[in-house]
C-alpha cells in the first residue's frame, strides 16, 4: 500500500487525471537554489549523504528534533554515520512530507522500492552509492533523468553568471534569477563592503541612493542578456509609508555614516528600493517573486556556529496587507506593475493575498499569482490549503504550479507529490458534483498547471 502507483489518488477520476495528464509533463523548476557551477562541472557525488544531506536544512531540523548530535548533522562525523542518523530519524517522521519525499526519491531516482529504516540503511547506502558513481546519476544526468526542462537558479546581482553561459548548449535550460537581498538589507554589517563589490560589477561608483538604483539597473540589463526572466525578494514585511525618494536618500546616507537605523527606516528603505527595482522588472517583462513572512536566524547559536540557511528560520506573523497594497498600487498607477508571484510563509495569509491580488489583476491571465505552498507549508495539507484558497478566491486554472525551492538534485519527485495532490483535489470536486466529470476538460487544466502555464507565463528564451 505504500507509495503505490496510485498513492494519494483515492478514486478513478483522480487516477485518470494524474496518469494521463499530469505524470507525462516535463518540469519547469522556476525557483530553486541549485548551484550552476555544480551543474556545469557535473562531478558525481561521493555518496548519498553528500547528495542528500549536505545542504538540506529541512532534514537537519528534524534530526535536531530527534536528539541527534550536531556532529552527525553538520559536523565532522563519518558520512555513513550521518546517513544512519537520518534513517533512524525518518522512522519517527510519519505524516511529515519528508517521510514521503525521502522514500519517493529512493524509488523514482534509484529504483529502490523499500522504505528507509535503520535496519536496511546499509543495503540502501550500498545500492544508491553504486548508482551515484555512474554518468546517469551525475548532476546533469539526474536533471535529464527527471525530465527537467528549465531550471532557474537564485543569483546575486554581482554574480558573473559564467556557468549559466557555459551551460547554454545543454538540452535543458539553466537561467539566472536576480536576488538583490544584499543590496536591500542595508542593516546588515556587510552592506558597505557589498556596495563596493556591486560598484565593481556594474562599473559605476555608488555614492547615493540614486547611483545604487542605477548600478542595480545595469546588472538587471546584464541578467536579461543571460536569459533571466525572474527576480526574487525575501522580505519579512513591507513598509506602509508612501514612497519618498528624499527620505530614501537620507536613510542611505545615514547608513554610510552610522549603523544605527530604526526599524521603520530599514523597512522604508527596503520597500522603496523594491518599488524602484520592480519598475525595472516591469520594463524588462520579468516576474517578481516576493517571499514574505520569513523570520531569519532565530537561533543565534546556530547562526554563529553555522551561518544562515542552517535551520534557524521560522515563519513570521506581522501585518502584511497594508504595505503590500500600497506597493502594488503605486506601481499599478505608474503602469509599471510587473507580473508578480506572492508567497507567504504563514498560511494564514493565503486568503489575504488571494483577495488583494484580485484588486490588481490586469492585462494578462494570472498576472498576479498566489505562490505555491512554500517551505513550512510545503506539505500535504499545506498544498491542499493553497490550492483550495486560490480556487475559491481566484482562478486556479491560471496557476503556474510547483517549484522545488531546493538545493538538492534529488528533489524533483516533489513535483510528482504536488501533481498527485492537485489531481486528488480536483477529483473530489467532481465527486461532490461541483465539477463535471469531463476528463479532457479537467485534464487540460491539470496539464496546464503542471507545465504549460509556467512555460507561457515566464516566456523564457527559446
The CATH number covering residue 418 comes to: 3.20.20.140
User: What's the half-sphere exposure (Cβ side, CA atoms, 13 Å) at 65?
Assistant: 14
Taking only the tens place, the pLDDT of each residue in 352-369 is 999 999 999 998 999 999
At 236 the pLDDT is: 85
Q: What predicted TM-score, i.e. pTM, was given to this entire model? A: 0.97
16 and 133 assigned to the same domain: no
Residue 72 belongs to a domain = yes
* Distance (Å, whole) CA 393 – CA 396: 9
Same structural domain for residues 317 and 238?
A: yes
Asked whether residue 259 carries a pLDDT value surpassing 80, the answer given is no
Residues in a beta bridge with 315: 294
Burial classification of residue 375, based on how many CB atoms lie within 10 Å of its CB (0-12 exposed, 13-18 middle, 19 or more buried): middle
Last residue of a domain, one of 72, 104, 137: 137
Closest CA to 383 of 398, 399, 367: 399
Looking at the domain assignment, is residue 7 inside a domain?
A: no
Work out the mean pLDDT of the chain and round it to a whole number. 96
Q: What is the torsion angle, in degrees rounded to the nearest 10, for the CA atoms of residue 397, residue 398, residue 402 and residue 405?
A: -160
Give the domain-ending residue among 122, 137, 152.
137
* Secondary structure of residue 315 in the 3-state scheme: strand
**Residue 254 sits in the same domain as residue 382:** yes
CA dihedral sign of residues 272, 276, 281, 283 = positive
Q: Does 309 have pLDDT greater than 90?
A: no
Q: C-alpha 397: how far from its chain's center? A: 21
Cell numbers given for 439: 476528463
Indicate whether 128 and 166 sit together in one domain: no
Per-residue pLDDT tens over the stretch 425-438: 999 999 999 999 99
Domain extent, residue 341, equals: 12-45+138-458
Is residue 383 domain-shared with residue 264, that is, in the same domain?
yes
CATH number at residue 83: 1.10.2020.10
Task: Provide the CB-side half-sphere exposure for 232 (13 A, CA).
Answer: 18
Residue 275 and residue 328 in contact, taking contact as beta carbons nearer than 8 Å? no
Distance CA 118, CA 389 (A): 39
Residues 304 and 417 in one domain: yes
Q: Which residue, among 237, 269, 235, 238, has the nearest Cα to 251 in the 3D structure? A: 269
- What value does the mean pLDDT take over residues 62-90? 98
Distance, CA of 362 to CA of 436 (rounded, Å):
29
Question: Is the model's pLDDT at 55 over the cut of 90?
Answer: no
The grid cell for 149 is 526542462
- Asked if residue 1 belongs to a domain, the reply is no
State the pLDDT at residue 1. Answer: 87
Give the pLDDT confidence score for residue 103 in this predicted structure.
98
Over the stretch 234-255, which tens digit does the pLDDT of each residue have?
A: 998 898 888 899 999 999 999 9
pLDDT (0 to 100) of residue 432 = 98
Domain assignment present for 2: no
Residue 5 within a domain: no
Distance CA 118, CA 166 (A): 41
pLDDT grade for 160, boundaries at 50, 70 and 90: very high
Statement to judge: residues 124 and 147 lie in one domain: no
> Considering only CA atoms, which of 311, 328, 332, 312 is closest in space to residue 320?
328
Check residue 319 and give its pLDDT: 87
What number is the average pLDDT over the span 362-379?
95
Last residue of a domain, one of 109, 137, 165: 137
Residue 19 included in any domain: yes
For 173, which DSSP code? E
Would you say residue 6 lies in a domain? no
pLDDT value for 166:
96
Query: Is residue 90 domain-shared with residue 180, that is, in the same domain?
Result: no
Average pLDDT, integer, range 175-185: 98
Same-domain check for residues 163 and 95? no
Grade residue 96 by pLDDT with cuts at 50, 70 and 90: very high
Does residue 4 sit within a domain? no
pLDDT of the residue at 403: 97
Q: Please state the domain count of the chain.
A: 2
Residues 169 and 147 in one domain: yes
Are 209 and 193 part of one and the same domain? yes
Per-residue pLDDT, 93? 98
Does 288 lie in the same domain as 324? yes
The mean pLDDT value for 147-162 works out to 98
Amino acid at each position: 500500500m505504500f507509495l503505490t502507483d496510485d498513492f494519494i489518488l483515492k478514486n478513478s477520476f483522480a487516477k485518470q487525471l494524474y496518469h494521463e495528464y499530469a505524470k507525462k509533463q516535463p518540469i519547469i523548476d522556476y525557483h530553486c537554489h541549485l548551484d550552476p557551477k555544480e551543474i556545469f562541472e557535473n562531478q558525481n557525488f561521493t555518496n548519498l549523504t553528500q547528495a542528500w544531506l549536505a545542504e538540506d536544512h529541512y532534514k537537519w531540523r528534524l534530526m535536531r528534533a530527534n536528539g541527534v548530535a550536531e556532529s552527525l548533522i553538520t559536523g565532522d562525523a563519518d558520512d555513513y554515520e550521518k546517513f544512519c542518523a537520518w534513517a533512524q530519524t525518518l522512522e519517527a517522521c510519519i505524516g511529515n512530507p519528508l517521510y514521503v519525499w525521502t522514500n519517493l526519491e529512493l524509488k523514482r531516482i534509484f529504483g529502490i522500492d523499500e522504505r528507509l529504516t535503520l535496519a536496511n540503511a546499509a543495503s540502501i547506502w550500498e545500492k544508491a552509492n553504486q548508482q551515484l558513481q555512474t554518468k546517469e546519476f551525475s548532476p546533469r544526468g539526474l536533471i535529464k533523468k527527471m525530465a527537467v526542462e528549465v531550471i532557474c537558479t537564485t543569483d546575486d546581482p554581482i554574480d558573473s553568471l559564467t556557468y549559466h553561459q557555459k551551460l547554454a548548449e545543454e538540452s535543458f535550460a539553466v537561467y539566472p534569477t536576480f536576488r538583490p537581498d544584499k543590496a536591500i538589507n542595508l542593516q546588515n554589517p556587510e552592506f558597505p563592503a557589498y556596495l563596493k563589490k556591486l560598484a565593481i560589477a556594474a562599473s559605476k561608483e555608488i555614492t547615493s541612493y540614486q547611483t545604487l538604483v542605477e548600478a542595480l539597473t545595469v546588472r538587471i540589463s546584464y541578467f536579461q542578456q543571460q536569459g533571466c526572466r525572474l527576480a526574487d525578494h525575501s522580505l519579512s514585511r513591507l513598509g506602509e509609508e508612501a514612497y519618498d525618494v528624499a527620505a530614501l536618500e537620507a536613510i542611505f546616507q545615514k547608513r554610510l555614516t552610522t549603523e544605527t537605523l530604526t526599524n521603520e527606516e530599514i523597512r522604508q528603505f527596503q520597500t522603496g528600493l523594491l518599488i524602484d527595482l520592480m519598475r525595472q522588472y516591469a520594463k524588462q517583462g520579468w516576474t517578481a517573486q516576493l517571499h514574505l513572512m520569513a523570520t531569519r536566524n532565530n537561533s543565534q547559536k546556530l547562526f554563529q556556529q553555522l551561518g544562515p540557511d542552517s535551520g534557524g528560520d521560522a515563519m513570521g506573523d506581522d501585518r502584511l496587507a497594508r504595505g503590500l497594497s500600497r506597493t502594488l498600487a503605486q506601481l499599478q498607477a505608474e503602469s509599471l506593475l510587473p507580473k508578480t508571484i506572492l508567497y507567504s510563509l504563514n498560511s494564514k495569509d493565503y486568503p489575504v493575498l488571494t483577495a488583494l491580488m484580485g484588486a490588481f489583476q490586469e492585462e494578462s491571465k494570472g498576472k498576479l499569482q498566489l505562490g505555491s505552498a512554500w517551505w513550512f507549508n510545503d506539505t500535504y495539507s499545506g498544498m491542499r490549503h493553497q490550492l483550495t484558497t486560490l480556487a475559491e478566491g481566484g482562478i486556479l486554472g491560471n496557476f503556474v504550479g510547483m517549484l522545488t525551492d531546493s538545493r538538492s538534485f534529488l528533489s524533483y519527485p516533489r513535483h510528482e507529490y504536488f501533481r498527485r495532490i492537485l489531481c486528488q483535489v480536483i477529483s473530489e470536486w467532481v465527486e461532490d458534483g461541483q465539477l463535471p466529470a469531463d476528463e479532457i476538460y479537467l485534464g487540460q487544466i491539470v496539464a496546464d498547471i503542471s507545465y504549460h502555464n509556467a512555460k507561457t507565463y515566464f516566456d523564457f528564451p527559446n
